Amino acid sequence: MTQKNFPSFLDNGRRRTVFAGGALLSGAAVALLAGRDALAQGARASSAQSEADVRILNTAIGAEFEAVAAYQVGAERGLLSPGVRTVALQFQGHHKEHVAALAAAVRKLGGHPAEARGSYVFPIDKLHSEADVLRFAAGLERGAVSAYLNAVPLFNSRDLSQAAASILGDEAMHWAVLRQVLGEMPVVPSAFMS
């Protein structure tokens, strides 16, 4: 992979905007690392608070299903070198784990987990090289970081907020790795995320 910067065709704010719906922003997958334990414990809150948390979790499940589908498209395009494809599928596996943990948390709160859509629309016509696929994935991961950041204070359950913060870290690591493979600085471009 060369050390060039490629033009971005993905609106990095797109995923964050998709999560905005009333006061609900994606918790986008609230369950990796230490966060998985917080989800397993479930939240004790009033019915209205639990319903609000379920809506955030279901929005996150929807976003995670989209990420799983996006990594599948990236892997199937035939544009990724074997080593990069392995990492992409590992990241997809993380998103699948997020879905499973989020769905368990929704059920624990008495809700019904969101299901995957029948199809997703991705800019396939713009994915012509490995760099295009990686830039697309990096844009989705950056959007997930922003969504998690905005979701953390929205949860009524402190355990769910802690879990969302844990997932935020996972998404940030994905973004950093993808940036490095693209030849960009692996650190986030600014000292603060929004």
Domain extents in the chain: 24-181
Q: What would the two tokens of residue 161 be? A: 């907020």
Residue among 159, 150, 192, 160 at smallest CA distance from 19: 150
CATH number of 24-181: 1.20.1260.10
- Supply the DSSP string of 181-194, one letter for each residue: HTTS-SS-SSSS--
Name the one residue in this structure whose structure tokens are 């599928």: 89
User: 96-118: per-residue pLDDT in tens?
Assistant: 999 998 898 899 999 999 999 99
User: 18-52: per-residue pLDDT in tens?
Assistant: 333 322 323 333 333 334 555 545 434 478 889 99
Looking at residue 75, its pLDDT comes to 92
Looking at residue 55, its pLDDT comes to 94
Looking at residue 38, its pLDDT comes to 52
Inter-residue contact 144 to 181 (CB < 8 Å): no
User: 147-179: per-residue pLDDT in tens?
Assistant: 888 888 999 988 898 888 888 889 899 999 999
